[in-house]
Structure 1
Amino acid sequence: IEKPGRQAGQKVGRSPWLQPVIVDEKSGEIGEIIQVRITKTGYNSLFAELA
């Protein structure tokens, strides 16, 4: 997880292919590496939940 997201309650990380992955704020702390499951796609980003 890299930083807080644009929307309240979100954090942003990166996939192995450097795509932004948006997760729930409670999914982990900034600096952690977490396993997620992609639930939705956007034009430039992926939305995920904890695996």
Structure 2
Amino acid sequence: MTTENLSDETETRLKDFFNNSIDCKEMAKMIREVNNALSLCVMRGCETIES
């Protein structure tokens, strides 16, 4: 785990991003979609290796 601190600019940008431009429901939907896509890629990779 890293102990480095973020720069002030980075911290400000992250706060602005999460506080102003993201709808919680849309973010949850995006996370589920990405998780689904990654899971499918991993499963397909395992099938290719095993066969």
Question: What TM-score bracket applies, with the shorter chain setting the length?
Answer: under 0.3
Structure with bigger RCO (C-alpha 8 Å, 6+ apart): 1
Q: Which has the higher helix share?
A: 2
Q: Which structure has the greater CA radius of gyration?
A: 2
TM-score, structure 2 normalization:
0.18
TM-score, normalising length: structure 1: 0.18
Relative to its length, the structure with more strand (as a share) is: 1
